[in-house]
Chain A
Amino acid sequence: MSDLPKNYISEPGLNGEGVEQPAEPLVLIEMIQRLKVRDVMTSKLVTVVRASPLREVQSLMKAKRISGVPVEEGGRFLGLVTINDILRALEGGYIDETCQKHMSTKLVVLEDDMPLSFALRYFENYHYGRFPVINREQKLVGIICQRDINRALLLELANELNRLESEWVLSKATAQPYNLYVLREFPVSKYDFENAGKAANKIKQILQEKKFPPKVIRRIAVAAYELEINLCVHSDGGSLSWQISNGRAEIIATDSGPGIVDLEWACKDGNSTANEWIRSFGFGAGMGLVNVKRVADEFEIESTVNVGTRVKAVIYIDEKQKDES
Protein backbone atom coordinates (compact mmCIF):
# COMPACT_ATOMS: atom_id res chain seq x y z
CA MET A 1 0.00 0.00 0.00
CA SER A 2 2.90 2.32 0.72
CA ASP A 3 3.66 2.53 -3.00
CA LEU A 4 0.26 3.93 -3.76
CA PRO A 5 -1.15 7.40 -3.58
CA LYS A 6 -3.27 8.32 -0.59
CA ASN A 7 -6.95 7.47 -0.66
CA TYR A 8 -6.29 4.46 -2.82
CA ILE A 9 -9.43 2.31 -3.11
CA SER A 10 -9.38 -1.19 -4.51
CA GLU A 11 -12.90 -2.36 -3.62
CA PRO A 12 -16.05 -1.49 -5.53
CA GLY A 13 -18.43 0.93 -3.80
CA LEU A 14 -20.66 -1.11 -1.53
CA ASN A 15 -23.65 1.12 -2.01
CA GLY A 16 -23.55 1.14 -5.79
CA GLU A 17 -26.22 -0.66 -7.70
CA GLY A 18 -23.64 -2.14 -10.07
CA VAL A 19 -24.25 -3.55 -13.47
CA GLU A 20 -27.63 -5.23 -13.80
CA GLN A 21 -26.14 -8.46 -15.01
CA PRO A 22 -29.06 -10.83 -14.46
CA ALA A 23 -31.11 -9.14 -17.18
CA GLU A 24 -28.29 -9.60 -19.69
CA PRO A 25 -27.82 -12.67 -21.88
CA LEU A 26 -25.63 -15.36 -20.36
CA VAL A 27 -23.11 -14.94 -23.17
CA LEU A 28 -22.52 -11.34 -22.14
CA ILE A 29 -22.36 -12.11 -18.42
CA GLU A 30 -19.92 -14.89 -19.21
CA MET A 31 -17.83 -12.52 -21.33
CA ILE A 32 -17.49 -9.79 -18.72
CA GLN A 33 -16.61 -12.39 -16.09
CA ARG A 34 -14.13 -14.24 -18.28
CA LEU A 35 -12.30 -11.19 -19.60
CA LYS A 36 -9.86 -9.74 -17.11
CA VAL A 37 -8.93 -6.09 -16.78
CA ARG A 38 -5.48 -6.96 -18.16
CA ASP A 39 -7.08 -8.30 -21.38
CA VAL A 40 -8.75 -4.98 -22.05
CA MET A 41 -6.48 -2.26 -20.62
CA THR A 42 -3.90 -0.25 -22.52
CA SER A 43 -0.52 -1.44 -21.32
CA LYS A 44 1.69 0.76 -23.49
CA LEU A 45 1.75 3.58 -21.00
CA VAL A 46 2.75 7.15 -21.47
CA THR A 47 3.93 8.38 -18.07
CA VAL A 48 5.57 11.45 -16.56
CA VAL A 49 7.45 12.12 -13.32
CA ARG A 50 6.52 14.51 -10.52
CA ALA A 51 8.99 17.12 -11.76
CA SER A 52 7.47 17.17 -15.27
CA PRO A 53 5.79 20.50 -16.10
CA LEU A 54 2.06 20.38 -16.78
CA ARG A 55 2.77 21.89 -20.19
CA GLU A 56 4.72 18.73 -21.10
CA VAL A 57 1.67 16.66 -20.06
CA GLN A 58 -0.55 18.87 -22.21
CA SER A 59 1.73 18.24 -25.23
CA LEU A 60 1.72 14.49 -24.55
CA MET A 61 -2.08 14.43 -24.37
CA LYS A 62 -2.32 16.26 -27.68
CA ALA A 63 0.30 14.12 -29.43
CA LYS A 64 -0.98 10.77 -28.13
CA ARG A 65 -4.68 11.70 -28.11
CA ILE A 66 -5.14 10.68 -24.50
CA SER A 67 -6.97 12.35 -21.63
CA GLY A 68 -5.04 11.12 -18.61
CA VAL A 69 -1.33 10.63 -17.90
CA PRO A 70 -0.10 8.65 -14.86
CA VAL A 71 2.75 10.02 -12.76
CA GLU A 72 5.20 7.23 -12.05
CA GLU A 73 8.73 6.98 -10.68
CA GLY A 74 10.70 3.73 -10.54
CA GLY A 75 7.56 1.65 -10.93
CA ARG A 76 5.82 3.54 -8.12
CA PHE A 77 2.46 4.94 -9.13
CA LEU A 78 2.15 8.39 -7.57
CA GLY A 79 -0.78 10.13 -9.20
CA LEU A 80 -2.65 11.04 -12.35
CA VAL A 81 -2.87 14.21 -14.40
CA THR A 82 -6.20 14.40 -16.21
CA ILE A 83 -7.38 16.72 -18.94
CA ASN A 84 -9.41 18.55 -16.28
CA ASP A 85 -6.20 19.24 -14.33
CA ILE A 86 -4.71 20.72 -17.52
CA LEU A 87 -7.80 22.87 -18.18
CA ARG A 88 -7.64 24.19 -14.63
CA ALA A 89 -3.90 24.92 -15.05
CA LEU A 90 -4.55 26.86 -18.25
CA GLU A 91 -7.35 28.85 -16.62
CA GLY A 92 -5.33 29.43 -13.44
CA GLY A 93 -2.15 30.37 -15.31
CA TYR A 94 0.07 27.68 -13.75
CA ILE A 95 0.59 25.44 -16.78
CA ASP A 96 4.39 25.73 -16.38
CA GLU A 97 4.33 24.39 -12.83
CA THR A 98 5.18 20.74 -12.09
CA CYS A 99 2.84 17.78 -11.83
CA GLN A 100 3.76 17.21 -8.17
CA LYS A 101 1.60 20.03 -6.90
CA HIS A 102 -1.38 19.62 -9.17
CA MET A 103 -1.74 15.93 -10.00
CA SER A 104 -4.75 14.02 -8.67
CA THR A 105 -3.81 11.75 -5.79
CA LYS A 106 -7.29 10.79 -4.59
CA LEU A 107 -7.37 7.85 -6.91
CA VAL A 108 -9.42 4.76 -7.44
CA VAL A 109 -7.46 1.97 -9.10
CA LEU A 110 -8.29 -1.43 -10.57
CA GLU A 111 -6.23 -4.58 -10.28
CA ASP A 112 -5.18 -6.36 -13.47
CA ASP A 113 -6.63 -9.76 -12.51
CA MET A 114 -10.10 -8.43 -11.69
CA PRO A 115 -12.89 -9.54 -14.03
CA LEU A 116 -14.09 -6.94 -16.52
CA SER A 117 -17.41 -6.87 -14.62
CA PHE A 118 -15.58 -5.12 -11.76
CA ALA A 119 -14.31 -2.46 -14.16
CA LEU A 120 -17.83 -1.88 -15.48
CA ARG A 121 -19.09 -1.48 -11.93
CA TYR A 122 -16.31 1.01 -11.16
CA PHE A 123 -17.22 3.12 -14.19
CA GLU A 124 -20.85 3.10 -13.08
CA ASN A 125 -20.11 3.86 -9.42
CA TYR A 126 -17.37 6.45 -9.72
CA HIS A 127 -18.13 8.22 -13.01
CA TYR A 128 -14.43 8.63 -13.87
CA GLY A 129 -13.24 8.55 -17.47
CA ARG A 130 -10.39 6.14 -16.79
CA PHE A 131 -8.81 4.04 -14.07
CA PRO A 132 -5.12 3.25 -13.55
CA VAL A 133 -4.47 -0.49 -13.29
CA ILE A 134 -2.01 -2.03 -10.84
CA ASN A 135 -0.75 -5.59 -10.46
CA ARG A 136 -0.44 -7.72 -7.32
CA GLU A 137 2.88 -6.06 -6.56
CA GLN A 138 1.01 -2.74 -6.70
CA LYS A 139 3.02 -1.56 -9.69
CA LEU A 140 1.30 0.44 -12.39
CA VAL A 141 0.75 -1.85 -15.39
CA GLY A 142 -1.91 -0.10 -17.44
CA ILE A 143 -4.80 2.26 -17.78
CA ILE A 144 -8.34 1.44 -18.78
CA CYS A 145 -11.01 3.72 -20.26
CA GLN A 146 -14.49 2.99 -21.55
CA ARG A 147 -13.25 3.06 -25.13
CA ASP A 148 -10.95 0.11 -24.33
CA ILE A 149 -13.94 -1.81 -22.95
CA ASN A 150 -16.16 -1.04 -25.95
CA ARG A 151 -13.45 -2.20 -28.34
CA ALA A 152 -12.78 -5.44 -26.43
CA LEU A 153 -16.46 -6.29 -26.06
CA LEU A 154 -17.20 -5.68 -29.74
CA LEU A 155 -14.34 -7.98 -30.72
CA GLU A 156 -15.49 -10.68 -28.31
CA LEU A 157 -19.11 -10.36 -29.42
CA ALA A 158 -18.09 -10.79 -33.05
CA ASN A 159 -16.15 -13.97 -32.14
CA GLU A 160 -19.08 -15.22 -30.09
CA LEU A 161 -21.57 -14.63 -32.91
CA ASN A 162 -19.34 -16.52 -35.34
CA ARG A 163 -19.16 -19.42 -32.92
CA LEU A 164 -22.92 -19.48 -32.27
CA GLU A 165 -23.64 -19.30 -36.00
CA SER A 166 -21.43 -22.29 -36.74
CA GLU A 167 -22.98 -24.27 -33.86
CA TRP A 168 -26.45 -23.42 -35.04
CA VAL A 169 -25.67 -24.78 -38.48
CA LEU A 170 -24.24 -27.90 -36.85
CA SER A 171 -27.26 -28.43 -34.60
CA LYS A 172 -29.63 -28.05 -37.56
CA ALA A 173 -27.69 -30.70 -39.42
CA THR A 174 -27.93 -33.15 -36.52
CA ALA A 175 -31.41 -32.22 -35.30
CA GLN A 176 -32.58 -34.58 -32.59
CA PRO A 177 -35.01 -34.18 -29.70
CA TYR A 178 -33.52 -32.37 -26.72
CA ASN A 179 -30.49 -31.26 -28.64
CA LEU A 180 -29.19 -27.86 -27.63
CA TYR A 181 -26.13 -25.92 -28.56
CA VAL A 182 -23.01 -26.31 -26.49
CA LEU A 183 -22.44 -23.44 -24.14
CA ARG A 184 -18.85 -22.48 -23.60
CA GLU A 185 -17.44 -22.51 -20.11
CA PHE A 186 -18.92 -20.12 -17.61
CA PRO A 187 -16.13 -18.79 -15.40
CA VAL A 188 -16.58 -18.92 -11.63
CA SER A 189 -14.32 -16.87 -9.37
CA LYS A 190 -13.23 -17.86 -5.89
CA TYR A 191 -15.55 -16.52 -3.15
CA ASP A 192 -17.59 -14.52 -5.69
CA PHE A 193 -20.95 -15.08 -3.99
CA GLU A 194 -22.44 -12.16 -5.91
CA ASN A 195 -22.28 -14.11 -9.16
CA ALA A 196 -22.21 -17.74 -8.02
CA GLY A 197 -25.38 -19.52 -9.11
CA LYS A 198 -26.13 -17.26 -12.06
CA ALA A 199 -25.08 -19.89 -14.58
CA ALA A 200 -27.30 -22.55 -12.97
CA ASN A 201 -30.27 -20.15 -12.80
CA LYS A 202 -29.79 -19.30 -16.48
CA ILE A 203 -29.46 -22.96 -17.48
CA LYS A 204 -32.76 -23.65 -15.73
CA GLN A 205 -34.47 -20.74 -17.48
CA ILE A 206 -33.24 -21.92 -20.89
CA LEU A 207 -34.43 -25.49 -20.26
CA GLN A 208 -37.84 -24.20 -19.10
CA GLU A 209 -38.17 -22.12 -22.27
CA LYS A 210 -37.31 -25.20 -24.32
CA LYS A 211 -40.02 -27.16 -22.45
CA PHE A 212 -37.76 -29.87 -21.09
CA PRO A 213 -39.44 -32.25 -18.58
CA PRO A 214 -39.67 -30.43 -15.18
CA LYS A 215 -38.12 -33.28 -13.19
CA VAL A 216 -35.14 -33.41 -15.53
CA ILE A 217 -34.75 -29.63 -15.33
CA ARG A 218 -34.70 -29.85 -11.55
CA ARG A 219 -31.95 -32.48 -11.56
CA ILE A 220 -29.82 -30.62 -14.11
CA ALA A 221 -30.29 -27.32 -12.22
CA VAL A 222 -29.39 -28.88 -8.85
CA ALA A 223 -26.24 -30.50 -10.27
CA ALA A 224 -25.18 -27.28 -12.02
CA TYR A 225 -25.85 -25.14 -8.96
CA GLU A 226 -24.03 -27.43 -6.53
CA LEU A 227 -21.02 -27.63 -8.84
CA GLU A 228 -21.03 -23.86 -9.37
CA ILE A 229 -21.16 -23.21 -5.62
CA ASN A 230 -18.38 -25.76 -5.09
CA LEU A 231 -16.18 -23.88 -7.56
CA CYS A 232 -16.90 -20.60 -5.76
CA VAL A 233 -16.38 -22.02 -2.28
CA HIS A 234 -13.57 -24.56 -2.64
CA SER A 235 -11.56 -23.83 -5.78
CA ASP A 236 -9.09 -21.12 -6.69
CA GLY A 237 -11.43 -20.36 -9.58
CA GLY A 238 -12.63 -22.44 -12.48
CA SER A 239 -15.38 -22.89 -14.98
CA LEU A 240 -18.72 -24.59 -15.40
CA SER A 241 -19.68 -25.91 -18.81
CA TRP A 242 -22.75 -27.74 -19.98
CA GLN A 243 -24.12 -29.27 -23.10
CA ILE A 244 -27.18 -31.22 -24.09
CA SER A 245 -26.99 -33.66 -26.95
CA ASN A 246 -28.18 -37.12 -27.83
CA GLY A 247 -30.73 -37.15 -25.01
CA ARG A 248 -28.23 -36.46 -22.23
CA ALA A 249 -27.12 -33.40 -20.31
CA GLU A 250 -23.48 -33.10 -19.33
CA ILE A 251 -22.35 -30.62 -16.70
CA ILE A 252 -18.64 -30.28 -16.13
CA ALA A 253 -16.88 -28.25 -13.44
CA THR A 254 -13.16 -27.74 -13.90
CA ASP A 255 -10.85 -25.77 -11.65
CA SER A 256 -7.19 -24.96 -11.37
CA GLY A 257 -6.66 -25.97 -7.76
CA PRO A 258 -6.06 -26.54 -4.97
CA GLY A 259 -7.26 -30.12 -5.61
CA ILE A 260 -8.85 -32.60 -3.21
CA VAL A 261 -6.56 -34.63 -0.95
CA ASP A 262 -9.04 -37.41 -0.15
CA LEU A 263 -11.74 -37.86 -2.80
CA GLU A 264 -13.55 -40.60 -0.91
CA TRP A 265 -13.80 -38.40 2.18
CA ALA A 266 -14.96 -35.38 0.16
CA CYS A 267 -17.77 -37.36 -1.46
CA LYS A 268 -19.25 -38.52 1.87
CA ASP A 269 -22.22 -36.85 3.62
CA GLY A 270 -21.30 -33.98 5.88
CA ASN A 271 -17.57 -33.84 5.16
CA SER A 272 -16.44 -30.34 4.29
CA THR A 273 -13.44 -28.06 4.56
CA ALA A 274 -15.65 -24.93 4.40
CA ASN A 275 -15.12 -22.20 7.00
CA GLU A 276 -17.68 -20.23 9.03
CA TRP A 277 -17.78 -17.38 6.50
CA ILE A 278 -18.86 -19.78 3.75
CA ARG A 279 -21.42 -21.32 6.11
CA SER A 280 -22.88 -17.85 6.69
CA PHE A 281 -24.02 -17.97 3.04
CA GLY A 282 -25.86 -21.24 3.71
CA PHE A 283 -23.29 -23.56 2.18
CA GLY A 284 -20.41 -25.74 3.27
CA ALA A 285 -22.41 -28.52 4.90
CA GLY A 286 -20.50 -31.13 2.95
CA MET A 287 -23.52 -32.15 0.89
CA GLY A 288 -22.61 -30.64 -2.49
CA LEU A 289 -20.90 -33.58 -4.20
CA VAL A 290 -23.25 -36.01 -2.45
CA ASN A 291 -26.22 -34.15 -3.92
CA VAL A 292 -24.68 -34.05 -7.40
CA LYS A 293 -24.18 -37.83 -7.24
CA ARG A 294 -27.77 -38.22 -6.05
CA VAL A 295 -29.32 -36.37 -9.01
CA ALA A 296 -26.90 -37.61 -11.69
CA ASP A 297 -27.14 -40.80 -13.75
CA GLU A 298 -23.37 -40.74 -14.25
CA PHE A 299 -20.82 -39.10 -11.96
CA GLU A 300 -17.08 -38.80 -12.40
CA ILE A 301 -14.54 -36.93 -10.33
CA GLU A 302 -10.80 -36.67 -10.69
CA SER A 303 -8.49 -34.46 -8.71
CA THR A 304 -4.80 -33.81 -8.31
CA VAL A 305 -3.50 -31.78 -5.39
CA ASN A 306 -2.03 -28.44 -6.50
CA VAL A 307 -3.28 -29.04 -10.05
CA GLY A 308 -7.07 -29.08 -9.97
CA THR A 309 -10.33 -30.97 -9.98
CA ARG A 310 -12.74 -32.00 -12.71
CA VAL A 311 -16.25 -33.17 -11.93
CA LYS A 312 -18.64 -34.46 -14.58
CA ALA A 313 -22.32 -35.13 -13.98
CA VAL A 314 -24.50 -36.66 -16.67
CA ILE A 315 -28.29 -36.65 -16.53
CA TYR A 316 -30.34 -38.65 -18.99
CA ILE A 317 -33.18 -36.76 -20.55
CA ASP A 318 -34.18 -39.57 -22.77
CA GLU A 319 -35.06 -42.70 -20.77
CA LYS A 320 -33.57 -44.86 -23.55
CA GLN A 321 -30.15 -43.64 -22.44
CA LYS A 322 -30.70 -45.36 -19.10
CA ASP A 323 -31.43 -48.66 -20.80
CA GLU A 324 -28.36 -48.39 -23.00
CA SER A 325 -25.96 -47.57 -20.17
Chain B
Amino acid sequence: MWSWVLHRITGVAIYFFLLVHILDSALLRVSPRAYNAVIDTYKQPIMGIGEAALVAAIMFHALNGIRIILIDFWGGGPKRQRLMFWLVLVVWVILMAGFLPRQIGVILSEF
Protein backbone atom coordinates (compact mmCIF):
# COMPACT_ATOMS: atom_id res chain seq x y z
CA MET B 1 0.00 0.00 0.00
CA TRP B 2 2.82 2.44 0.84
CA SER B 3 4.42 1.86 -2.55
CA TRP B 4 1.07 2.79 -4.10
CA VAL B 5 0.71 5.93 -1.95
CA LEU B 6 4.28 7.01 -2.68
CA HIS B 7 3.81 6.35 -6.39
CA ARG B 8 0.79 8.70 -6.42
CA ILE B 9 2.40 11.43 -4.32
CA THR B 10 5.64 11.44 -6.34
CA GLY B 11 3.62 11.29 -9.57
CA VAL B 12 1.54 14.36 -8.70
CA ALA B 13 4.63 16.27 -7.54
CA ILE B 14 6.53 15.46 -10.74
CA TYR B 15 3.46 16.42 -12.82
CA PHE B 16 3.25 19.90 -11.29
CA PHE B 17 6.99 20.40 -11.73
CA LEU B 18 6.59 19.36 -15.39
CA LEU B 19 3.93 22.06 -15.94
CA VAL B 20 6.26 24.73 -14.50
CA HIS B 21 9.26 23.34 -16.37
CA ILE B 22 7.52 23.52 -19.77
CA LEU B 23 6.52 27.12 -19.06
CA ASP B 24 9.99 28.19 -17.89
CA SER B 25 11.51 26.51 -20.97
CA ALA B 26 9.05 28.43 -23.17
CA LEU B 27 10.93 31.60 -22.10
CA LEU B 28 13.74 30.39 -24.41
CA ARG B 29 11.46 31.70 -27.16
CA VAL B 30 11.05 35.09 -25.45
CA SER B 31 14.62 36.25 -24.89
CA PRO B 32 17.94 35.06 -23.43
CA ARG B 33 17.50 37.66 -20.68
CA ALA B 34 14.05 36.38 -19.65
CA TYR B 35 15.13 32.72 -19.68
CA ASN B 36 18.35 33.35 -17.76
CA ALA B 37 16.53 35.45 -15.14
CA VAL B 38 14.13 32.60 -14.36
CA ILE B 39 16.67 29.78 -14.64
CA ASP B 40 18.96 31.70 -12.24
CA THR B 41 16.37 31.10 -9.53
CA TYR B 42 16.97 27.35 -10.00
CA LYS B 43 20.56 28.00 -8.90
CA GLN B 44 19.58 29.35 -5.46
CA PRO B 45 20.46 26.99 -2.58
CA ILE B 46 16.80 26.54 -1.63
CA MET B 47 15.98 25.46 -5.18
CA GLY B 48 19.03 23.19 -5.16
CA ILE B 49 17.39 21.36 -2.28
CA GLY B 50 14.15 21.33 -4.27
CA GLU B 51 16.01 19.74 -7.20
CA ALA B 52 17.36 17.05 -4.90
CA ALA B 53 13.77 16.35 -3.76
CA LEU B 54 12.60 16.28 -7.39
CA VAL B 55 15.34 13.82 -8.37
CA ALA B 56 14.48 11.70 -5.31
CA ALA B 57 10.80 11.65 -6.39
CA ILE B 58 11.65 10.83 -10.03
CA MET B 59 14.00 8.01 -9.02
CA PHE B 60 11.42 6.43 -6.72
CA HIS B 61 8.68 6.75 -9.35
CA ALA B 62 10.94 5.22 -12.02
CA LEU B 63 12.12 2.30 -9.87
CA ASN B 64 8.66 1.53 -8.51
CA GLY B 65 7.32 1.85 -12.06
CA ILE B 66 9.69 -0.93 -13.16
CA ARG B 67 8.39 -2.96 -10.20
CA ILE B 68 4.78 -2.40 -11.32
CA ILE B 69 5.65 -3.50 -14.87
CA LEU B 70 7.33 -6.65 -13.52
CA ILE B 71 4.29 -7.42 -11.33
CA ASP B 72 2.00 -7.02 -14.37
CA PHE B 73 4.01 -8.81 -17.05
CA TRP B 74 6.38 -11.23 -15.31
CA GLY B 75 4.86 -14.50 -14.13
CA GLY B 76 6.93 -14.53 -10.95
CA GLY B 77 6.26 -10.83 -10.28
CA PRO B 78 3.18 -10.85 -8.02
CA LYS B 79 4.77 -13.42 -5.71
CA ARG B 80 7.89 -11.30 -5.36
CA GLN B 81 6.27 -7.86 -5.14
CA ARG B 82 7.29 -7.33 -1.50
CA LEU B 83 10.89 -8.32 -2.14
CA MET B 84 10.92 -6.04 -5.18
CA PHE B 85 9.68 -3.12 -3.06
CA TRP B 86 12.66 -3.53 -0.75
CA LEU B 87 14.90 -3.73 -3.83
CA VAL B 88 13.36 -0.46 -5.07
CA LEU B 89 14.25 1.19 -1.76
CA VAL B 90 17.80 -0.22 -1.75
CA VAL B 91 18.52 0.89 -5.33
CA TRP B 92 16.92 4.28 -4.56
CA VAL B 93 19.25 4.76 -1.58
CA ILE B 94 22.27 3.80 -3.72
CA LEU B 95 21.29 6.21 -6.53
CA MET B 96 20.63 9.04 -4.06
CA ALA B 97 23.94 8.34 -2.32
CA GLY B 98 25.58 8.91 -5.68
CA PHE B 99 23.58 12.02 -6.59
CA LEU B 100 23.32 13.93 -3.30
CA PRO B 101 27.06 14.62 -2.71
CA ARG B 102 27.28 15.86 -6.30
CA GLN B 103 24.22 18.12 -5.90
CA ILE B 104 25.42 19.49 -2.55
CA GLY B 105 28.77 20.23 -4.19
CA VAL B 106 26.98 22.16 -6.94
CA ILE B 107 24.85 24.10 -4.42
CA LEU B 108 27.94 25.14 -2.47
CA SER B 109 30.09 25.87 -5.55
CA GLU B 110 30.67 29.37 -6.87
CA PHE B 111 30.25 28.43 -10.51
Bound together: no
Residues of A within 8 A of B (CB): none
Residues of B within 8 A of A (CB): none
